[in-house]
């Protein structure tokens, strides 16, 4: 794995100076890029948290209440606060690039970018309300 790739004699080596691991700290937009990349870790943590919740509910009422007490511990709360900040950042940055990723056409005309983004935010609000309504007892 650490062996250098085999270069043929006529193949020039690329000159790639090693950059500092902290290269992204010099510019705000690069910091935002790395923070956006790191958001995936917190998305993965949420999956773990959700599976623990569902497993606790399946085990019975006592396990469910134990889960809620565990979720109220300062350490878990801190992880979840950070996770919420990162996942909301993920949501905003993901929706804001949807016009570049989705070329929506209606009646032969391309839907303007801001409208594509706005419809995602609207769907976010509706889905969040639906989930809260389901969870809280309909």
Shortest Cβ 27–another protein spacing (Å)? 14
The residue (of 95 and 104) whose beta carbon lies closer to another protein is 95
Q: From the CB of 77, what's the least distance to another protein, in Å?
A: 7
For residue 9, give Cα distances in angstroms to 12, 15, 128.
8, 16, 60
- Three-state DSSP at 86 gives helix
Q: Which residues contact 80 (CB under 8 A, 6 or more apart)?
A: 49, 71
Ramachandran angles phi, psi of 106, nearest 5°: -130, 120
Distance between CA atoms of 29 and 44, rounded to whole angstroms? 24
Nearer of residues 59 and 110 to another protein, judged by Cβ: 59
Give least dist CB 114 to another protein, A: 18
Nearer to another protein, 49 or 113 (CB): 49
Q: CA 80 to CA 57: how far, in whole Å?
A: 19
Closest separation between CB of residue 22 and another protein, Å? 10
Residues that bind another protein (CB under 8 A): 1-2, 18-19, 21, 24, 34, 37-41, 43-44, 46-47, 49-51, 53-55, 57-58, 60-61, 64-65, 68-69, 71-72, 76-77, 80-81, 83-84, 87-88, 90-91, 94-95, 101, 123-124, 127-128, 131-132, 134-137
Query: What is the secondary structure of 27-40 as a DSSP string?
Result: SHHHHHHHHHHHHH
């Amino acid at each position: 794995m650490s062996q250098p790739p085999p270069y043929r004699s006529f193949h020039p080596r690329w000159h790639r100076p090693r950059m500092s691991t902290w290269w992204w700290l010099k510019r705000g937009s690069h910091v935002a890029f790395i923070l956006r990349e790191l958001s995936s870790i917190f998305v993965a943590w949420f999956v773990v948290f959700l599976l623990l919740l569902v497993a606790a509910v399946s085990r019975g009422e006592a396990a469910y209440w134990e889960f809620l007490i565990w979720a109220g511990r300062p350490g878990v709360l801190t992880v979840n606060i950070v996770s919420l900040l990162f996942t909301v950042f993920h949501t905003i940055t993901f929706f804001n690039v949807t016009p570049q990723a989705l070329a929506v056409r209606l009646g032969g005309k391309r839907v303007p970018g801001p409208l594509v983004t706005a419809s995602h935010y609207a769907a976010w609000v509706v889905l969040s309300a639906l989930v809260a309504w389901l969870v809280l007892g309909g």
